[in-house]
Chains A and B, each alone.
Chain A
Amino acid sequence: MKKAIIYIPLTLCGIIMLYPLLWLVGASFKSNEEIFSTIWFIPQHLDFSIYKRAWQTVTDYTMGHYFLNTFAIILPKTVFAVVSSVLTAYGFARFDFPLKRLFYALFMGTMFMPAIVTIMPMYLMWSNLGVLDTYIPLTIPALFAAEGTFVFMMIQFFKGVPKEFDEAARIDGCNSMQILVHILIPCIRPVIVSVCVFTFLWTMNDFLTPLIMISSVEKYPLSLILRLSADSTGNGYEQCKILAMSVIGLIPSIAVFGLAQKKFLSGITAGGLSG
């Protein structure tokens, strides 16, 4: 009985939290009239032809093309982010070196740096280098441990691995790199998963950076093609089409989160973002 008192409001809140997403999926099958006449999310008819039309987008390219574009950004970015964050975190967590305190302070500072201040000079910099409208501005920063949060999470994880592990390996003749690869990386696997998942989700969500850097429609990532479609369909037009495109656009994020959910949540919890 006491339990019900907790579960009932929790379940209600959970439904409220997820209802907009359920509504989105349902509304993608509905006609304009049906969207705006009922609160209930389940559509009267299941007509998948709308998804066929949504897949065609409003441009010459299909959603598949834009998925590939997005993945062409995500894939290198993820590899870059993992490698550069692991190296940086390993350096901070396990070694003493000149000016360490200064660099650590600078590192913490970058985590609180508002992106809006740096994005415009970066735009001009990439423009001077002649690489606007390529994926270089979207991926290369990840090569330089640009996401402080990742490094921070990894430092916390490294600290959780006893230093005796390193020492034992060193006595056995391992050098610093071998220790990292053979001893430490297997220990911090959950946080590496978290970094991959976060890179995936955040890149899927990123809107401002591609909006500024990418100008040709054929190179658009998903977020930009959704915006283009939302702008060009307007009110009164087949609204379910843009909603169906949105659903398609969310599937990769939901799939990745669903697959990685367990490991990923343990990665952020054990990573102790709790300061």
Chain B
Amino acid sequence: MKKKYRNPIGVKSYTGLLLILPFIAGFILFTAYPFISSFLLGLTDYNGIRSPEFIGGENYSRMLTDKGFINATAVTLKYTAILVPLKLIFSLFAAIVLNMQIKGMGVYRTIFYIPSILGSNLAVVIMWQFLFTADGLANQLLEAVGLSPIGWYGNSAAAMGIIILLRLWEFGSTMVIFLNALRDIPKEYYEAARVDGCGRIRGFFAITLPLLKNVFFLNLILQIIAAMQEFNAPYMITGGGPLKSTYTLGMLVYDEMFSYHNMGYANAISWVMFVIIALIVGIMTAVTKRGRAEI
């Protein structure tokens, strides 16, 4: 028996399929094909000129002893672990404040949102580099408040700090997602809670936070994926330095591919990055699902 599809009368079952054809073709061409070919290339020795030579898992075993790879992985994980929680807390706090129904709040929302739309523009990245030079704005500010200036580019923690600050400054896009979620919470919930004698702070923990769980998770995943791939900022601002302390996996992949033409190795690394990201996301999903089951 033929399966019935719930469509309006006169609509063929393949109409929808035809409509999503651009997506299906795009998925095959720009996701599935590169994904698989990236894996296969990772099993080869390939310099882009001679045809790829199959070497099995050699690229992967090479990573285990490659100090450059181990360092880049550590740098990327450290960067992600510092940036993502800070950014989420920051944007959630900003969203809660900007969600207050006060005159002129729209202007503030726009102001806080602007850095996130311009932030990855190369012009802004270049500006950021200027802010942290030896006698740049950051050090001038430090001196103005009586602190001693920092050699931002000579100190590995400070160099990492420059990039984290840039990305923190762009918290607007995550903030907007939180703002939408906050706006969707029905006011009646708070009113009912107030009748039951629940204060504002308790209302926040008992109503707001649980209802934001899903969107918090979405933001968390999106931010982890973005942070794990960081390339523009360290490439332009610190060049990965000092002593490779801001040299991310994204930069390593780029260099292996385009500077050293180790295309097989570069693809293997990008696959490991994919696995690391998928693992983090998978673990997070498992953990939060357990959290949900408890409630």
Contacts and interface: CB of A to CB of B under 8 A. Distances in A.
Nearest to A273: B177
Q: Chain B at the A interface: mostly helix, strand, loop or mixed?
A: helix
B54 interface: no
Contacts of B179: 269
Nearest to A223: B122
Interface in B228-258: 228-229, 231-232, 236, 249-250, 253-254, 257-258
A94 B20 CA distance: 11
B189 interface: no
Given A117-B271, A246-B123, A112 B221 contact: yes
Interface string B44-68: 0000100000000000000000000
A107 B34 CA distance: 16
A91 interface: yes
Given A95-B7, A95-B15, A230-B126, A118 B31 contact: yes
A112 B281 contact: yes
A122 B30 contact: yes
Contacts of B108: 10, 14
B117 A20 contact: no
Given A144-B26, A226-B122, A257-B114, A24 B127 contact: yes
A170 B10 contact: yes
Interface in B147-188: 169, 176-177, 179-181, 183-184
Instruction: Among B11, B19, B129, B140, find the residue whose CB has the most chain A CB atoms closer than 10 A.
Output: B19
B204 interface: no
Interface stretch (A42-50, A71-79, A98-106, A185-193): A98-106
Interface residues of B, number: 98
Given A116-B270, A226-B126, A23 B13 contact: no
Q: Chain A at the B interface: mostly helix, strand, loop or mixed?
A: helix
A18 B115 CA distance: 8
Interface stretch (B79-87, B130-138, B190-198): B130-138
Contacts of A159: none
Contacts of A36: 133, 135-136, 140
B34 A100 contact: no
Contact of A208 (B35, B214, B232): B232
Contact of A120 (B22, B221, B263): B263
B17 A98 contact: yes
Contacts of A121: 33-35, 37-38, 41, 267
Instruction: Among B33, B137, B281, find the residue whose CB has the most chain A CB atoms closer than 10 A.
Output: B137
A98 B215 contact: no
Nearest to A87: B19
A116 B231 CA distance: 10
Contacts of A204: 121
A91 B19 contact: yes
A60 interface: no
A103 B24 contact: yes
B169 A20 contact: yes
B176 to A, nearest CB: 6
Interface in A165-220: 166-167, 170, 176, 201, 204-205, 207-208, 212
Interface of A: 3, 6-7, 10, 13-14, 17-18, 20-21, 23-24, 27, 35-39, 84, 87-88, 90-92, 94-100, 103, 106-107, 110, 112-125, 141, 143-146, 151, 166-167, 170, 176, 201, 204-205, 207-208, 212, 222-223, 226-227, 230, 235, 239, 242-243, 245-247, 249-250, 253-254, 257, 261, 265, 268-269, 272-275
Given A17-B112, A87-B22, A118-B31, 11 more contacts: A37-B135, A39-B144, A97-B17, A106-B27, A114-B225, A121-B34, A121-B41, A170-B8, A226-B122, A246-B126, A249-B122
Interface of B: 3, 5-8, 10-11, 13-27, 29-31, 33-35, 37-38, 41, 48, 97, 100, 102, 104, 108-115, 117-118, 120-124, 126-131, 133, 135-137, 140-141, 144, 169, 176-177, 179-181, 183-184, 214-215, 218, 221-222, 225, 228-229, 231-232, 236, 249-250, 253-254, 257-258, 263, 266-267, 270-271, 273-274, 277, 281
5 contacts: A7-B104, A23-B137, A87-B22, A120-B263, A269-B176
